[in-house]
Amino acid sequence: MRSRTLNLALLALGRPATSAIRPSPWICRSCQIRSGREKQFSFQSNSEKQKPFYITTPIFYVNAAPHVGHLYTMVLADILKRWQQLKGNTAILCTGTDEHGMKVQKAAEQAGIDPKLFCDKGAAIFRELAQKAEISNDHFVRTTDKEHKDAVEYAWYLLQEKGLIYTAKHEGWYSISDEAFYPESAVKRYLDPTTGSKIMISTETGSQVEWSSETNYHFRLSAFREPLLEFYKANPNWIAPESRMKEVVAAVESGLEDLSISRPSQRLTWGIRVPHDETQTIYVWLDALMNYATKAGYPWAPGSETAGGWPADCHVIGKDIVRFHCIYWPAFLMALNIHLPNKILTHAHWTLGGLKMSKSTGRVVDPFHALDRFGPDVMRFFLAHEGGLQNDADYDNIRIISMYNKFLNQTLGNLASRVTRGKRWSVRGAVERVGTIQADEWEEGPGSRYYHNSLSSVPAKVAEALDSYDPRTALRLIADLARGSNQFLQMSKPWETITSFGPGEPGLATDRTIFLAAESLRMTGILLRPFMPNKARLLLDQLGVDESRRTFKYCRPGSDLNYGVPMVDVGAGQKGALFPRLSSDE
């Protein structure tokens, strides 16, 4: 038995084993050749330097309406994609919907409509959410797409031919909502307060489980315990935050059981059938996880593996699906000899009133309503600024309004208004007269400390945070820059240093202050582009920054001396304001 397990592990790693892969009559000849040329899984690829940056969200179940957690995941992924573009890199973002499985089947039955029609409506809602939130996704994958079905069947064929799939009777506690089996040690008895009945639930997710006994196909997950542990050891920062990496390692160290990867089709009719066995339907998580590779072009023609972005640079997921993405998924990829993704970014959940959101109790936040009320840029800012990676965050409309009033309106908006609408100075004039001053000439005089301690240092810190997949820290650094700039302007009082001579020239002291404040706004506008694409565009338009100079390359003092003439009417009062006051009914 030991030699059999070792042989399977060697097969999984792409090393020679005693049995050869047999050709299948339903796989085309080119695919058979392609499978034989697959390389050992690894963390890098030879042509990775040419590949696009590829980032994904999970694909979302269509059995229920989107909630703010879905929106948060989309926003995080979109920020990271836009950041790569800000640096001048080609980037691809994939999102979509998970449309197979028992949950969707039951939801369609309850709605009394055909499952495909049910999925069409659900997918349209998630598409609309992405559009409404200014998510710049390049792909929207659906597991009902033919290309996805073909890729899943091809993957199944490879796993089966490698001897990594077998049939056996499976018994255990099954959760329909989680689409997962749980061992006895992972369930507990629970008294449902709404019905008074005793039920069994998963200790991990709180979802109800029921005892199930059936014969189905299994994947030899146990053969990948050591390969997974070796990979985790070699890549200790693969999962963020660190605490979840430790949890995954501990879970795998405790042992892995083989995974049931099909369900009897008489019970689960809605899904991809096992090739050559209509009595079984492929497990929804094996089906769903393949979406990331599907949209990157899998199965790839020889030499084109990285053209669609694979390996994925980052999967952004919620903490509730870590096991599937950090244990099952890398094991599947190892078995298929596919490069593993470079990063798994996991985030915490949103609570409401300090309690977990729940569709069953109605304790959820409708993201469409929130976007209609506050607009996409404000919601993106709030979610990125307040959302947690390690710890849950609490959603509160009062906090959004307070954040808008205190920071967006009174700090950033006020700074933009005072600088661009000044009657006694000119941004363009200050840039022309002071912009050519070299860095070493800012060692003393008005604004010297602000130049070196803030303007010259913050962009690099923001870049470090975003390169480390930490949008929250990056945004807070940007916000601190704006606060500091507002305080700098207030303390410098350029209106009091204006000279009485030289028409149109307020004097060196005022020019220096206005130039530094304008530079802060210019760089803030550039750095905010991944977070608030519309408001950042408006701010840069107000400053007159050319479209070609709105990249991270220009995020240093004095790097752009061609701006200062507004491209839009900066207005007066509330007209033209970057962040106008909220109406009284907000």
Contact 421, 493 (CB under 8 A): no
pLDDT of residue 200: 76
Answer yes or no: do 178 and 236 share one domain: yes
397, 388, 389: which is closest to 353 by C-alpha?
A: 397
Dihedral-angle region of residue 356 (phi above 0 means left; psi in -120 to 50 means alpha; beta otherwise): beta
Domain annotation covers residue 580: no
Answer yes or no: do 358 and 487 share one domain: no
Dihedral-angle region of residue 283 (phi above 0 means left; psi in -120 to 50 means alpha; beta otherwise): beta
DSSP-based three-state secondary structure for 559: coil
406, 389, 466: which is closest to 55 by C-alpha?
A: 466
Answer yes or no: do 418 and 360 share one domain: no
Answer yes or no: do 178 and 264 share one domain: yes
- Residues whose CB is less than 8 angstroms from the CB of residue 105 and which lie 6 or more positions away in sequence, other chains included: 115, 268, 269, 270
Centre a 10 Å sphere on the Cβ of residue 436 and count the other Cβ atoms it contains.
10
Answer yes or no: do 421 and 513 share one domain: yes
Answer yes or no: do 365 and 427 share one domain: no
- Examine the fold and report which residue of 370, 389, 413 is the final residue of a domain before the chain moves on: 370
321, 250, 324: which is closest to 286 by C-alpha?
A: 324
- Residues whose CB is less than 8 angstroms from the CB of residue 262 and which lie 6 or more positions away in sequence, other chains included: 216, 217, 274, 280, 281, 282, 283
Q: What are phi and psi of 333, to 5 degrees?
A: -65, -40
Answer yes or no: do 358 and 488 share one domain: no
Domain annotation covers residue 50: yes
Answer yes or no: do 225 and 301 share one domain: yes
416, 438, 519, 530: which is closest to 55 by C-alpha?
A: 530
Domain annotation covers residue 574: no
Dihedral-angle region of residue 576 (phi above 0 means left; psi in -120 to 50 means alpha; beta otherwise): left
Domain annotation covers residue 284: yes
| pTM, two decimal places | 0.87
525, 524, 531: which is closest to 83 by C-alpha?
A: 531
438-456 in b/e form (b: 16+ CB < 10 A) is eeeebeeebbeebbeebbe
Expressed as residue numbers, the domain containing 134 is 2-370
Domain annotation covers residue 11: yes
pLDDT of residue 199: 77
CATH number at residue 287: 3.40.50.620
- By DSSP bridging, strand 239-240 and strand 208-219 are unpaired
CATH number at residue 494: 1.10.730.10
Question: In sequence order, what E strands does 276-365 have?
Answer: 277-282, 314-318, 344-347, 350-352, 355-356
Answer yes or no: do 89 and 162 share one domain: yes
Type and span of the H or E element at 564 = none
122, 87, 78: which is closest to 101 by C-alpha?
A: 122
Give me the count of residues in the chain: 586
Answer yes or no: do 353 and 419 share one domain: no
Spatial separation of the C-alpha atoms in residues 332 and 224, rounded to whole Å: 9
Spatial separation of the C-alpha atoms in residues 496 and 504, rounded to whole Å: 15
- Residues whose CB is less than 8 angstroms from the CB of residue 75 and which lie 6 or more positions away in sequence, other chains included: 133, 135, 379, 380, 383, 384
In 499-574, alpha helices (H): 508-527, 533-543
Domain annotation covers residue 161: yes
Answer yes or no: do 323 and 418 share one domain: no
Domain annotation covers residue 465: yes
For the chain, the straight-line distance linking the first and the last C-alpha, in angstroms and rounded, comes to 67
pLDDT of residue 18: 31
351, 334, 341: which is closest to 317 by C-alpha?
A: 341
DSSP 222: G
| Residue owning tokens 């304008």 | 518
Per-residue pLDDT of the chain (586 residues; tens, 9 = 90+): 433 333 444 444 443 333 333 334 344 433 443 443 333 344 444 444 579 999 999 999 999 899 999 999 999 999 999 999 999 999 999 999 999 998 899 999 999 999 999 999 999 999 999 999 999 999 999 999 999 999 999 999 999 999 999 999 766 677 766 666 666 677 777 777 767 677 777 776 777 777 776 889 999 999 999 999 999 999 999 999 999 999 999 999 999 999 999 999 998 999 999 999 999 999 989 999 999 999 999 999 888 889 999 999 999 999 999 999 999 999 999 999 999 999 999 999 999 988 877 665 677 899 999 999 999 999 999 999 999 999 999 999 999 999 999 999 999 999 999 999 988 899 999 999 999 988 888 888 778 889 988 999 999 999 999 999 999 999 999 999 999 999 999 999 999 999 876 667 899 999 999 999 999 999 999 999 999 999 999 999 999 999 999 999 999 999 999 999 999 998 887 888 999 998 755 5
Answer yes or no: do 319 and 411 share one domain: no
- Joined together, the tokens standing for residue 142 give 């659906």
Domain annotation covers residue 585: no
Spatial separation of the C-alpha atoms in residues 471 and 435, rounded to whole Å: 31
471, 580, 456, 473: which is closest to 529 by C-alpha?
A: 471
Spatial separation of the C-alpha atoms in residues 510 and 487, rounded to whole Å: 15
Spatial separation of the C-alpha atoms in residues 322 and 289, rounded to whole Å: 12
Question: Does residue 236 have a cis peptide bond before it, meaning omega lies within 30 degrees of 0?
Answer: no
**How many domains does the chain contain in total?**
2
